Amino acid sequence: MWSKSTKLLLAAALVVACSAPSGVGQTEDLLGDGAADPVKLFEQAQNAHARGDLKRALAFYEEALKVRPEFPEAEFQLGNVLVSMGRLAEAESAFQRAIKLRKDWSLPYSSLGALLARSGRERDAELMLRQALTHNKQDYVALRVLANLRLRAGDATEALKLAQTATLTPEAPASAWLVRAMAERTTGNKSQAVASLQRVLQIEPENIAALIERAEIRVEAGEYEEAIEDLSAAERVRSSDKSFLSRVAIAYQRVGKPDDARRVAESAGLISSERDSPGVKSTVMGTSAEIEAANSDDEATARAALLKLLEKNPRNAMLLARLGSSFRTEDPSRALEFYRQAVEIERDNPEYATGFASALIRARRFAEATVILRRVIAALPDHYTAHANLATALYELQRYPEAIPEYEWLLRARPDLAVAYYFIASAHDYLGEYDEALVAYEAFLGRADAKTNQLEIDKVNLRLPSLRRQIQLRQGVKRKR
């Protein structure tokens, strides 16, 4: 049995993100008189860990495990030190060993889940995090990280439930409140999201993500002066993260501050001062033959050449986006990954963002796609492809009152787009707005092409008799103007 002081140290689960200032000499000199006692070694490791002396802590944890190999707490803390040192593969192995030694302890599961999420292995991460919660429903690391993963997967309802549990304790960190705010915003409760963001900013007054989230909510509410205050505060943080700065620039544009928008975009390298279109010119290193092949009309030839060029230019957003487009129908999951990387490199590029959203829609991750597409449209209100994809995503999410204006926008841009009338009609139909549905159905039939719209024509012809009877019986609802 461990001593009371040791148990308290074990429960702390320290993860220190500092680099060690001192080296490690001979093991015997470092460990001192307690070299044969695993508990003393562990306590010394904890002390060094708390001071940020990672190299010394690592040596103590490793020696404790040599003396007592079946020591799950030491394996767990060893994993935490290795994470702080950036040795992620070794940290993963340490957490796995801790789990094997003590299967009913939630902390190694949640730490491993957080590590896997950080490495982009989201499916494996979710399994570990849910396993952690089976052993401890109040594992706040598991709750927070899993909430973030579910939010990114488009399940804002579960994300909110998890985040609410993660913020029950007064000691809940800012990161937990931030995930909660984002989930509340996604589910439409913007006033509660602002309250949660306020909690974030009480804990961390310079949390740039919270400042930008609140600014965007205030822009949507027309509270432009308050939004500008948040944007100015976000700028003072001086983040180098282009994704944050892109959002600051877009928000300035939406509050009628184009000069500030351009200033932020130029200072972040999002646009060059010589041209108006977003993004930085991409240069590709490769032979003329490789570049010619990449531009071939033959899809297989072009794809092979693009993959070869990507080996020489691994951070070229244009090549990644081209490959995303190439794989979009044949391998949607691979296309999604290429587009994701392109957007991470050039987050301000509307074409890459729209392509990414299109891939998300093919993967039926509609909620994520809507967030991206709304940002594209906020920056480029006349971006036709973004509007078309947003209309599809909203319709599939059954958010018909939001989908209808998008389809109406598409008709204003392309009056001959007959199928838009069908989606407007069916959206009204689902909402019980039968008079509007009938008008749109008839407009669709008057414009539809039997060669391309036969399936929709058949559906409408089957629906119309019963729809007309419902209208005669005064069923349905009246549309609220």
**What angle, 0 to 180 degrees and rounded to 10, lies between the N-to-C axes of helices 106-118 and 122-135?**
160
For residue 363, tell me if it sits in a domain. Answer: yes
For residue 122, tell me if it sits in a domain. Answer: no
The pLDDT score that the predictor gives to residue 328 is: 76
| Domain CATH code at residue 417 | 1.25.40.10
The pLDDT score that the predictor gives to residue 36 is: 67
In this structure, the answer to whether residues 389 and 465 fall within a common structural domain is: no
Domain boundary among 371, 397, 423: 397
In this structure, the answer to whether residues 355 and 449 fall within a common structural domain is: no
C-alpha of 38 from chain center: 42
Domain of 328, in residue numbers = 278-397
Read off the pLDDT of residues 70-82 as tens digits, 9 standing for 90 and up: 999 999 999 999 9
Q: What is the pTM of this model?
A: 0.50
In this structure, the answer to whether residues 412 and 435 fall within a common structural domain is: yes
The pLDDT score that the predictor gives to residue 18 is: 31
The pLDDT score that the predictor gives to residue 239 is: 73
In angstroms, the CA 259 to CA 244 distance is 18
In this structure, the answer to whether residues 388 and 301 fall within a common structural domain is: yes
Domain boundary among 367, 397, 427: 397
In this structure, the answer to whether residues 380 and 408 fall within a common structural domain is: no
For residue 201, tell me if it sits in a domain. Answer: no
If one counts the domains in the chain, the total is: 2
The pLDDT score that the predictor gives to residue 286 is: 61
In angstroms, the CA 213 to CA 217 distance is 6
In this structure, the answer to whether residues 350 and 303 fall within a common structural domain is: yes
In this structure, the answer to whether residues 402 and 292 fall within a common structural domain is: no
Domain boundary among 337, 371, 397: 397
Q: Which residues of the chain have pLDDT under 70?
A: 1-36, 243, 268-288, 312, 478-481
In this structure, the answer to whether residues 433 and 324 fall within a common structural domain is: no
In this structure, the answer to whether residues 376 and 412 fall within a common structural domain is: no
100: its two tokens = 């094997």
One-letter-per-residue 3-state SS of the chain: CCCHHHHHHHHHCCCCCCCCCCCCCCHHHHHHHHCCCHHHHHHHHHHHHHHCCHHHHHHHHHHHHHHCCCCHHHHHHHHHHHHHCCCHHHHHHHHHHHHHHCCCCHHHHHHHHHHHHHCCCHHHHHHHHHHHHHHCCCCHHHHHHHHHHHHHCCCHHHHHHHHHHHCCCCCCCHHHHHHHHHHHHHCCCHHHHHHHHHHHHHHCCCCHHHHHHHHHHHHHCCCHHHHHHHHHHHHHCCCCCHHHHHHHHHHHHHCCCHHHHHHHHHHCCCCCCCCCCCCCCCCCCCCHHHHHHHCCCCHHHHHHHHHHHHHHCCCCHHHHHHHHHHHCCCCHHHHHHHHHHHHHHCCCCHHHHHHHHHHHHHCCCHHHHHHHHHHHHHHCCCCHHHHHHHHHHHHHCCCHHHHHHHHHHHHHHCCCCHHHHHHHHHHHHHCCCHHHHHHHHHHHHHHCCHHHHHHHHHHHHHHHHHHHHHHHCCCCCCCCC
In angstroms, the CA 408 to CA 248 distance is 29
In this structure, the answer to whether residues 392 and 444 fall within a common structural domain is: no
